[in-house]
Chains A and B, each alone.
Chain A
Amino acid sequence: MRRPHADAKRRAGTGWHCAPDDMTRGSLKLYDLHIVIAEANGFQSTLVQSMLRGFGANIIHETRSVAATMHLLRDRRIDILICDAKLPTEGGFELTRRIRRDVESPNRIVPVFVMASDTREVTVNAARDAGANMVIAKPMSPSALYDRLSWVALRPRQFVDSGSYFGPDRRFKIEGYPNGVGRRSTDTPLEVADDAGPALEQTDIDSLFKAAREGRD
């Protein structure tokens, strides 16, 4: 779990790639969307449900385990899944993986938000690699939840099916690759320019990456 008091604002929510300014634009319309909260802690589930109702949601289902969630998802199409990383018994990451892997499922591309008490980098990476759209740090605030929902709603990402991974494009933060240079066939071939100035010190590079990880500009 993270240190809770040192960074109250950052703690409120963790996307591996967030741009807070963008997340506050636009408005959410959750009315008539089928939302599932998969959380074993009944009070936490009620809290999230209350926040969603405040946002205008009116159809909310609650489940308490991976098995119950999979059972619910077999029977109906849902629009948003908010699950706990430690959902009994296999956990929220495994639940996300199962949903993404199921080629028959009508919910294979559903936006998945994972709530986690522990938002160490290894946990966030695990959520991303499972196919989650966003990680929300607990304890959460209404504004953090709204911002994460807005981010996913207003900034849709492409999906990737690579055989070993099915889910939202995991590269959505690194917008700094010039003209889409990268490893994929659709990316621009890499061309290295002449030096335009002195190289950054490692400490400067580290601070840039740290700021990016923390969602700061």
Chain B
Amino acid sequence: MANAPIPKARVFHVETQLHMQARASGGVSRAQAVKAASMEVDKLKPAFDEWLGQEIALLVEAVERAKQGAPCGDWLDVAMIHCRQLHDVGGTMGCELVTLVADLLYKTFEGVAGGAECRLDTIVCYVDALQLVSKDDYRAIGPDQTPDLVAGLRKMAEHVNGVAM
């Protein structure tokens, strides 16, 4: 039996407004743009403080429901959303440890969502760590400055998830 002919792909050039403007004069240089953007981000720091407190409170609330014996469906999705949001924003706002701990906690949640045993002691430990690293004293500290804490958290994640973190 003869093979059906393979349809040819149409390959064509596109010109968008972004491309046209990139070639035009009058753009913002990388150095200027990054400096201005960093200043804009700095202006958000007061709002970030408030947001960080709210996100952690909502995560704690979800985990409290788990501690009271609520089924996963009642708390896991909410906890994952807030954990991911903490991961996504923390690093941009200079809180690398928040991103790190949220990353490890999220992987634990992913494991639970995938059918792994729900180890509440581990989850609570991560939430405690998140509360700790969100405090002013820890915000400007990077993971390389707290090797023992990071190693401990990673070891716990490896133990729970069974893979290297």
Name the distance in Å between B62's Cβ and chain A's nearest Cβ. Answer: 16
Q: In the bound complex, do residue A41 and residue B16 qualify as a contact, i.e. CB atoms below 8 Å apart?
A: no
Which chain B residues border A153 with CB–CB below 8 Å? 18-19, 21-22
The closest CB in chain B to the CB of A50 belongs to: B40
Q: Mark contacts of B139-153 with chain A using CB atoms, 8 A cut-off: 1 yes-contact digit, 0 otherwise.
A: 000111000001000
Q: In the bound complex, do residue A4 and residue B14 qualify as a contact, i.e. CB atoms below 8 Å apart?
A: no
Q: In the bound complex, do residue B8 and residue A4 qualify as a contact, i.e. CB atoms below 8 Å apart?
A: no
Q: In the complex the two chains form, what is the Cα distance from A67 to B26 in whole Å?
A: 36
Beyond A41-B85, A50-B43, A143-B34, is A159–B14 a contact (Cβ under 8 Å)? yes
Which chain A residues border B18 with CB–CB below 8 Å? 33, 79-80, 111, 149, 152-153
Q: In the bound complex, do residue A43 and residue B85 qualify as a contact, i.e. CB atoms below 8 Å apart?
A: yes
Q: In the complex the two chains form, what is the Cα distance from A82 to B142 in whole Å?
A: 28
The closest CB in chain A to the CB of B38 belongs to: A142
Q: In the complex the two chains form, what is the Cα distance from A177 to B15 in whole Å?
A: 25
Name the distance in Å between B22's Cβ and chain A's nearest Cβ. Answer: 4
Q: In the bound complex, do residue A146 and residue B44 qualify as a contact, i.e. CB atoms below 8 Å apart?
A: no
Q: Mark contacts of B1-37 with chain A using CB atoms, 8 A cut-off: 1 yes-contact digit, 0 otherwise.
A: 0000001111111111111011010111110011111
Q: In the bound complex, do residue B11 and residue A139 qualify as a contact, i.e. CB atoms below 8 Å apart?
A: no
Q: In the complex the two chains form, what is the Cα distance from A56 to B99 in whole Å?
A: 28
A128 interface residue per 8 A CB criterion: no
Q: In the complex the two chains form, what is the Cα distance from A149 to B21 in whole Å?
A: 12
Choice from B43, B85, B99, B142 contacting A44 with Cβ under 8 Å? B85
Interface magnitude class on chain B:
35 or more
Name the distance in Å between A51's Cβ and chain B's nearest Cβ. Answer: 4
Q: In the bound complex, do residue A5 and residue B144 qualify as a contact, i.e. CB atoms below 8 Å apart?
A: yes
Choice from A24, A29, A51 contacting B41 with Cβ under 8 Å? A51
Which chain B residues border A86 with CB–CB below 8 Å? 84
Q: In the bound complex, do residue B27 and residue A51 qualify as a contact, i.e. CB atoms below 8 Å apart?
A: no
A54 interface residue per 8 A CB criterion: yes
A68 interface residue per 8 A CB criterion: no
Question: Which residues A2-47 have CB closer than 8 A to chain B?
Answer: 2-5, 8, 11, 24, 26-31, 33, 41, 43-44, 46-47
Most chain A beta-carbon neighbours within 10 Å: one of B12, B99, B100: B99
Choice from A24, A44, A158, A185 contacting B30 with Cβ under 8 Å? A24
Q: In the bound complex, do residue B9 and residue A5 qualify as a contact, i.e. CB atoms below 8 Å apart?
A: no
Name the distance in Å between A140's Cβ and chain B's nearest Cβ. Answer: 6
B74 interface residue per 8 A CB criterion: no
A160 interface residue per 8 A CB criterion: yes
Question: Which residues B109-165 have CB closer than 8 A to chain A?
Answer: 142-144, 150, 165
Choice from A53, A156, A163 contacting B14 with Cβ under 8 Å? A156
Beyond A29-B27, A109-B16, is A55–B88 a contact (Cβ under 8 Å)? no
Q: In the complex the two chains form, what is the Cα distance from A184 to B12 in whole Å?
A: 13
A72 interface residue per 8 A CB criterion: no
Most chain B beta-carbon neighbours within 10 Å: one of A46, A47, A161: A47
Q: In the complex the two chains form, what is the Cα distance from A74 to B30 in whole Å?
A: 33
Q: In the bound complex, do residue A27 and residue B27 qualify as a contact, i.e. CB atoms below 8 Å apart?
A: yes
Most chain A beta-carbon neighbours within 10 Å: one of B11, B107, B142: B11
Q: Provide 8 A-B residue pairs closer than 8 Å at the C-beta atoms, listed in order of the A residue.
A: A43-B48, A54-B40, A111-B16, A139-B90, A143-B34, A145-B37, A160-B10, A160-B11
